[in-house]
Amino acid sequence: MPFFAIDCGKVGEIGLNQKERLEEIRKKHEQLQRQRAIRLHRGIVIVAAVIVIIIFVLLVKGCVTAISNDIVRRNEEAARIAEEQTKQQQAEPSPTPQIHIDPNVISEDYYRNCAFVGNSFADDLFTYGLLDEADFFAKTGLSVEQALSEDSNGMTVIDGLYSNEKYTRIFLMFGENELGWPDPEMFATTYGKVIDQVKKYQPQSQIYLLSITPVTKKASDENVDNANNEKIREYNELIKQVATEKNAIYMDIYSAVADKDGNLPAGSASDGVHFGKDYYEKCLLYIQNNDATVKGE
Rounded mean pLDDT for each run of 10 residues along the chain, 297 residues in total: 52 64 75 77 81 83 73 70 57 61 93 95 94 93 94 90 93 96 95 97 97 96 94 97 97 96 92 93 96 76
Q: Please give the Cα distance from 116 to 208 (Å, whole number).
A: 9
* In a shared domain, residues 44 and 169: no
Domain that residue 18 falls in: 8-92
pLDDT of amino acid 261: 95
Q: Please give the Cα distance from 203 to 3 (Å, whole number).
A: 133
* In a shared domain, residues 73 and 165: no
Query: Going by C-beta distance under 8 Å and a sequence separation of 6 or more, which residues neighbour residue 179?
Result: 212, 225, 226, 227, 231, 232, 235
pLDDT of amino acid 29: 73
* In a shared domain, residues 116 and 227: yes
* In a shared domain, residues 65 and 21: yes
pLDDT of amino acid 206: 97
Asked if residue 63 belongs to a domain, the reply is yes
pLDDT of amino acid 146: 95
* In a shared domain, residues 114 and 259: yes
- The phi and psi torsions of 139 (rounded to 5 degrees) equal -160, 130
Q: Number of folded domains in the chain? A: 2
Count of other CB atoms within 10 angstroms of residue 243: 21
Q: Give the total residue count for the chain.
A: 297
- State the greatest distance between any 2 C-alpha atoms of the chain, in Å, as a whole number: 175
pLDDT of amino acid 123: 93
For 95, the 3-state DSSP assignment is: coil
Rg (CA), the chain: 46
Q: Please give the Cα distance from 165 to 259 (Å, whole number).
A: 38
Task: For residue 160, give the CATH number of its domain.
Answer: 3.40.50.1110
Asked if residue 103 belongs to a domain, the reply is no
* In a shared domain, residues 117 and 171: yes
pLDDT of amino acid 5: 52
* In a shared domain, residues 82 and 133: no
Contact in structure between 215 and 179 (CB atoms under 8 Å): no
* In a shared domain, residues 71 and 199: no
pLDDT of amino acid 183: 94
Count of other CB atoms within 10 angstroms of residue 104: 7
Give the global pTM.
0.68
